[in-house]
Amino acid sequence: MSIVPATGGELALAPVGFSLPRRRLRRRVRLTPAWVAVLGLALVTGFLVLYPLGMLVYGSFWTNRPGLPGQLTLGNYISAYMTGETYALLATTILLMGGKTIIAGIIAVGLAWIVTRTDTPFRRALEILIVTPYFVPGILEAIGWILLLSPRTGAINVVVRQVFGIAESPLNIYGIGGILWVMTLSSVSFMFFLITSLLRGMDATLEEAARASGAGPLRTALTVTIPLIGPSVLGILALSFIRAMEAFEVPVLLGTRAGIYVFTNKIYAAVEDFPINYGLATALGVSLIPLMLGLVFVQQRLARGREFVVVSGKGYAPRIAKLGRLRWVAFASCLAYFAVAVVLPMSQIVLGSFTRVFGIVRADMFTLDNYSALLTDPRLWRAFTNTVWICGAAAVVTVLLSSAIAYVVIRTRHPVRRALDVVAWLPWTIPGVVAGLGFLWAYIYLPLPLYGTTLLLAIALVTGGLPLGVRVMAGGLMQVNRELEESARAHGASWPYTARRVMLPLLRPVMLAGGLTLFALFSRQVAPVVLLAGLGSELLSVLLFQYTIQGQMQVVSALAVILLLVNVAALLIARRVAVLGVRGVA
Amino acid sequence: MLRSTGARSLLVASLIASLVVAACGGVAAPQVAPSAGGTAANTLYEQAKLEGKVVLYSADDAATLDRLRKGFAAKYPGIDVQGQEGQGKDARELIIAEQAAKKYVGDVVSAGGNTMADLGGQGLLEPFQSPEVANLLPGIADKKGIVNPRYVNVYGITINTQLVPPQDEPKRWKDLADPKFKGKIAIQDPRGSGGGLYVITGLRELYDDAFLADLAKQQLLFGRNNAQGMTDVVRGERSIHMSASANDSLAARSGGGPIKLLHPEEGMVLIPIGLALVKNAPHPNAAKLFINWLLSEDGQKVIAETNTPARMGVAAKDQAADLSNVKVLVMKYDGSDPRETADLSKKYETIFFPK
């Protein structure tokens, strides 16, 4: 990759750490307040992540739960790894989740390009539609598809059998194919959301240069746009892969029944079956860490030397590729994704929310009782308020903390930065089923009045949000030209002033996108928080989970419909704010 | 099968009849004051009022918790019932962690036999038997004197009437091994706690492992969550559920589902769900008062709204109404020995999930 002069003659593109004198300068400024502040940041982050994780590691080597009488043991690891089953499990997990990530990544990049770089009609509206599936909890996506594709009574199977006059159903949602299908649909949306904000933040002058030199839209995309955002996209892929490794709802619902096991539903089985074996569950969970770290290492190696800043601080308006008639094909493919990821499964959920008995759709079964049951549940409003406040506050804190971490990792030479980078990945290496236990064990022993409080819930959410937060903010920061910041400093602006007047406005769209993604993540998180939601601090997600285990799927559906509407409303508001914010800067 | 002549629940009468045999070894109504009236209760109430609240860890839904809170407050003003919902296993993990860290929050835990046995085995429950235990259905009292049963879950065979015509209805549990039901039966995974474990264990006690091997040939559909299996039967994905609780089954039917609950001739499987006082409970008197109240006639009438009461003489209402006139399968297994449960789980793994 060559360095391309931007308009105005300055170097808009410079590899990070490009200038040697600057590096030497940083060496000398040791033990300044800033240096100490970074150390403090590292200590806080380290504590948040490593303390609960350490409890789990300790638990995996202990014959009892941490803090209770017991002895050191390797038994959990021996029973986990002396059986060939675990290796088969590992292979299935990696192939399935890797396959899902690659397929979904390709689709997400394609859709993001259509929406941000082409003249496809209604692309602003399409963007909202494609982001929507991210706000549908995985469990409902899976249940929706069960209702469509269960072997005997799945709606699609019934229709196909009748139309083609066949006795056997052609499709079965239970099994590897079903897991792959449902998880791919969900993660396209997640990656699309992050990739569009990357593309939006990218300086279009590079693409302009390519177009001016005679490259067509496709060639520009393949040779300029994609390589430029490549490292950040790799980070997003890694994030999605790791997220998939620890997701448990879909494998539990679609895999277990067909005898298909990945790490998470195996761990789930270990804490469900007698003898209940939290030791084995934590050992399985902990042993994913090296695997995940290996992946992070590979991602960092691939990205090294290819980190380019692409936001120059000037107004940017990407040149829109004219697709001609193909633009309707692009339009149709966006709609098609929305149809299979949201319309089809959610239609079943919405229908279910109006029926007396979940799963039977008949004219005489329709009722509004589920909504009235929900709206008269005294916990609903409390859970709603709690969700908005706790998840909202946690999202804000996570964005700020993540920005600081990302800044240290990308912009400084502080000795802790590499460690900080790795530590920020760790929370997602532990499946949620056991992560909740880590938080419980860690914080109940602290001589602080945290247990059972809303604050602890927020701490757990912030910790769990770091991998996503840091990835998003790092992606944003990498694109902001270092020189914008440095020119402010050179003109005598203090660091806080620079942060407030230069960095924050430039990063605002990314911060908003990140905050919203985190809020959506937090507002539907169940496993890690169910143990920590103390008296009176229920969240909507926990309520949803409780209705699920009580088998009240009709009410779950009604709640899910409400949750989805709330999240989409939040998305629309945030976008409005983000658009205004960008205009304010430009 | 016996029929009661009185207005009381017929279930009770038949329970007594079928449990007399089992009662010899098991029924241990503790020797305590016959009734929770008089000065003793007043003193307990005075002390409980000073504590002001009781924290309950249970799997009750919000509506039930709300009814319990209101019912208790009506009888004993000034003491608030605070509910922490969760599955049995969540309640168990919270109590274990609270005890280990000496940060006591929960006063009373409500759970099935397996969770109670686990907690009790670790010495985390305070032996406390309400005086009201003397008035419970025979045979469901806790031999170890820790658990106070508050209701019973009853399990029979649930069918989808559109898929199982009357002439094909299984009359007995044993009929489920008939090849005509192959691939049609759903059941909760017997390796975990709940209906699946108890039903399979009851059948194993009644017949033998060979019968279980026959069942295993039926390509049973195993689910973690009983409610999920119920949805499968309601939709017609499967025809029969062999571990659905009567409550779930009757709820699906009363909503208009093509569902029928059958009472197998061998008897229905019954699991008592109880309350226990947590060790070092921060509000011990309020906790005892609450347990006493919930087992009293007043408390059991609240229970009767949604469940089958554990107390003699209180009839289950509404959904559970047609549980009258049932026979109960008397079982040796009661979940009180975690090691026995672990062995059973391992056995069921080899029978139903061969490698």
The answer to whether the CB of B81 falls within 8 A of the CB of B65 is yes
Q: Please judge whether B345 and A444 are an interchain contact, meaning their C-beta atoms are less than 8 angstroms apart.
A: no
With CA atoms as reference, report the closest residue to B244 among B185, B298, B294. B185
Phi, psi of B272 (to 5 degrees): -75, 140
Whether pLDDT at A486 is above 70: yes
Query: What is the C-alpha to C-alpha distance for residues A220 and A225, in angstroms, rounded to an integer?
Result: 6
Residue A554 has a pLDDT of: 85
CA geometry: angle B111, B113, B117, nearest 5 deg: 100
C-alpha angle A293-A295-A296 in degrees, rounded to nearest 5: 65
Which residue did the predictor score with more confidence, A555 or B326?
A: A555
Closest residue, chain B, to A268 (C-alpha)? B224
Q: Is A80 helix (H, G, I), strand (E, B) or coil?
A: helix
Contacts of A548 in chain B (CB under 8 A): 225, 227
Q: What are phi and psi of A26, to 5 degrees?
A: -65, -35
Task: Find the CB nearest A65 among B55, B96, B338.
Answer: B96
Angle between helices A378-386 and A540-549 (to 10 degrees): 140
* Residue A2 DSSP class: P
CB contact under 8 A, A275 and B345: yes
The reply to whether residue A274 touches residue B345, judged by beta carbons under 8 angstroms, is yes
- The residue count of chain B comes to 355
pLDDT at B259: 92
Taking the CA of residue A509 as centre, how many other CA atoms within 13 Å lie in the half-sphere pointing to its CB? 26
Do A530 and B86 count as a contact with CB atoms less than 8 A apart? yes
Q: What average pLDDT does this structure show over B41-66?
A: 87
Query: Is A103 exposed, middle or buried, given 0-12, 13-18 or 19+ CB atoms closer than 10 A?
Result: middle
Residue range A435-459: mean pLDDT, rounded: 88
CB atoms B89 and A271 under 8 Å: yes
Mutual angle of helices B209-216 and B338-352, in 10-degree steps: 50
Residue A304 pLDDT = 64
Contact A360 B248 (CB under 8 A): no
Q: Inter-chain contact B338–A452, Cβ cutoff 8 Å?
A: no
Q: Rounded to the nearest 5°, which phi and psi values hold at B311?
A: -100, 140
User: In terms of C-beta density within 10 A (0-12 exposed, 13-18 middle, 19 or more buried), how is residue A485 classed?
Assistant: buried
End-to-end CA distance of chain B: 42
Distance CA A41, CA A35 (A): 10
pLDDT-derived band of residue A310, with 50, 70 and 90 as boundaries? low
The least confident of A333-337, A432-436, A526-530 is A526-530
Which stretch of A299-313, A462-476, B44-58, B104-118 has the lowest confidence by average pLDDT?
A299-313
Which of A169, A273, A376 is best to mutate for the B interface (most B CBs within 10 A)? Answer: A273
> Which among A429, A437, A427 has a CA at the least distance from the CA of A527?
A437
Can you read off the two tokens belonging to residue A255? 């895999």
Q: Do residue B222 and residue A68 have CB atoms under 8 angstroms apart?
A: no
Whether B32 shows a pLDDT value over 80: the answer reads: no
Asked whether the predicted pLDDT for residue B289 surpasses 60, the reply is yes
- Which residue's structure tokens are 């699609």? A156
Are B96 and A274 a contacting pair at CB < 8 A? no
Q: How many CB atoms lie within 10 A of CB A365?
A: 18
Residue A82 DSSP class? S
Q: How large is the average pLDDT for residues B287-292?
A: 96
The pLDDT of B11-33, averaged and rounded, is: 40
Residue A533, helix vs strand vs coil: coil
Residue A499 clears pLDDT 90, i.e. is over it: no
Chain B positions touching A531 (Cβ under 8 A) are 86, 90, 93-94
Please name the residue of chain B whose CA is at the shortest distance from the CA of residue A537.
B84
The three-class DSSP label of residue A308 is: strand
The reported pLDDT for the residue numbered A13 is 31
- Contact of A528 with A436, CB cutoff 8 Å: yes
Indicate the pTM of the whole model.
0.83
Minimal C-alpha gap between B315 and chain A (Å): 23
Residues with Cβ within 8 Å of residue A60, at least 6 apart in sequence:
A76, A77, A279, A282, A283, A285, A286
Mind telling me how many Å the CA of B276 is from chain A's nearest CA? 19
**Banded pLDDT at A346 (limits 50, 70, 90):** very high
CB contact under 8 A, A359 and B231: yes
Dist. CA B79–CA B292, nearest whole Å: 14
Other beta carbons less than 10 A from residue A325's beta carbon: 6
Query: Cα–Cα distances in Å, from A237 out to A198, A521, B332?
Result: 13, 17, 54
**β pairing state of B108-111 and B53-58:** parallel
pLDDT attached to residue B213: 95
Write the residue in B62, B224, B342 that is nearest to A378 by C-beta: B62
Find, among B103, B221, B135, B95, the residue nearest to A257 by Cα. B221
SS3 per-residue string spanning A387-421 = HHHHHHHHHHHHHHHHHHHHHHHHHCCCCCHHHHH
What is the overall mean pLDDT for chain B? 84
ipTM of the complex: 0.79
Report the residue of chain B nearest A69, measured CA to CA.
Answer: B100
Confidence category of residue A12, pLDDT binned at 50, 70, 90: very low
Which pLDDT belongs to residue B318? 58
Q: What's the rounded Cα separation, in Å, for the pair A277 and B11?
A: 38
Please name the residue of chain A whose CA is at the shortest distance from the CA of residue B235: A359
CA angle A534, A535, A538 (to 5 degrees): 70
Q: Measure in Å the smallest separation between the Cα of A153 and chain B Cα atoms.
A: 6
pLDDT tens for residues B210-252? 999 999 999 999 987 777 788 889 989 999 999 998 888 888 8
- Give the Cα separation of B115 and B93 in Å (integer): 10
Q: Which residue of A has its CA nearest to B66?
A: A378
CB-CB: which of A68, A359, A364 is closest to B100? A68
The C-alpha atoms of residue B83 and residue B68 are separated, in whole angstroms, by 10
Q: Average pLDDT, stretch A444-473?
A: 89
CB A196 within 8 A of CB A127: yes
With beta carbons under 8 A apart, name residues in chain B contacting A67: 97, 100-101
Task: Flag if B85 and A364 touch (Cβ within 8 Å).
Answer: no
Q: In the prediction, which pLDDT does A584 show?
A: 37
Q: Which of B56, B68, B81, B96 to mutate to test the interface with A (most CBs of A within 10 A)?
A: B96
- Decide: B241 and B233 in contact? Cβ < 8 Å: yes
Under a CB-based contact definition with an 8 Å cutoff, are residues B312 and B136 in contact? yes
Look up residue A242 and give its two tokens: 């790791």
Contact B98 A358 (CB under 8 A): no
Which residues of chain A have a CB within 8 Å of the CB of B62? 377-379, 546
Reduce the secondary structure of chain B to three states and give it as a string. Answer: CCCCCCCCCHHHHHHHHHHHHHHHHHCCCCCCCCCCCHHHHHHHHHHHHHHCEEEEEECCCHHHHHHHHHHHHHHCCCCEEEEEECCHHHHHHHHHHHHHHCCCCCCEEEECHHHHHHHHHCCCEECCCCHHHHHECCCCCCCCCCCEEEEEEEECEEEECCCCCHHHCCCCHHHHHCHHHCCCEEEECCCECCHHHHHHHHHHHHCCHHHHHHHHCCCCEEECCHHHHHHHHHHCCCCEECCCEHHHHHHHHHCCCCEEEECCCCCEEEEEEEEEEECCCCCHHHHHHHHHHHHCHHHHHHHCCCCEECECCCCCCHHHHHHCCCCECCCCCCCCCHHHHHHHHHHHHHHHCCC
Torsion, Cα A220 A222 A227 A231, to 10 degrees, reads 130
The total of other beta-carbon atoms located within 10 Å of residue A345's CB is: 24
Predicted confidence band of residue B142 (pLDDT cuts 50, 70, 90): confident
- pLDDT, tens only, A55-113: 999 989 988 887 778 888 898 898 888 888 888 888 999 999 999 999 999 999 999 98
Which residue bears the tokens 């305590």? B32
| Distance linking the first and last C-alpha atoms of chain A | 28
Rounded mean pLDDT, B148-159? 92
pLDDT of A380 reads 81
**Which residue of chain A has the CA closest to B63?**
A377
pLDDT of residue A234: 83
Helices of type H across A150-225? 155-164, 176-201, 205-212, 217-220
Judged by CB atoms closer than 8 Å, whether chains meet at B252 and A553 is answered as no
A553 contact residues in B (CB cutoff 8 A): 227, 231
Please give the average per-residue pLDDT across A555-582, as a whole number: 75
- Residue in chain B closest to A84 (alpha carbons) equals B355
- Interchain CB distance below 8 Å, A274 and B192: yes
- B224/A272 CB distance under 8 A: yes
pLDDT score at A580: 52
Q: Which among A147, A252, A531 has the least Cβ separation from residue B93?
A: A531
Q: B-chain residues within 8 Å CB-CB of A530?
A: 86, 90
CA distances from A304 to A2, A297, A410, A468, A474 (A): 15, 10, 11, 20, 14
- Looking at chain A, the number of H-run helices and the number of E-run strands are 29, 0
Predicted pLDDT of residue B175 = 96
pLDDT tens digit string along A181-219? 999 999 999 899 888 877 876 767 777 888 888 888 778
Question: Which chain A residues contact residue B224 at CB under 8 A?
Answer: 252, 256, 268, 272
Smallest CA-to-CA distance from A462 within A538, A545, A535, A405 is with A405
Q: Is the pLDDT of residue B113 over 80?
A: yes
* CA B298/CA B59 separation, integer angstroms: 21
User: For chains A and B, what is the number of CB pairs under 8 angstroms?
Assistant: 134
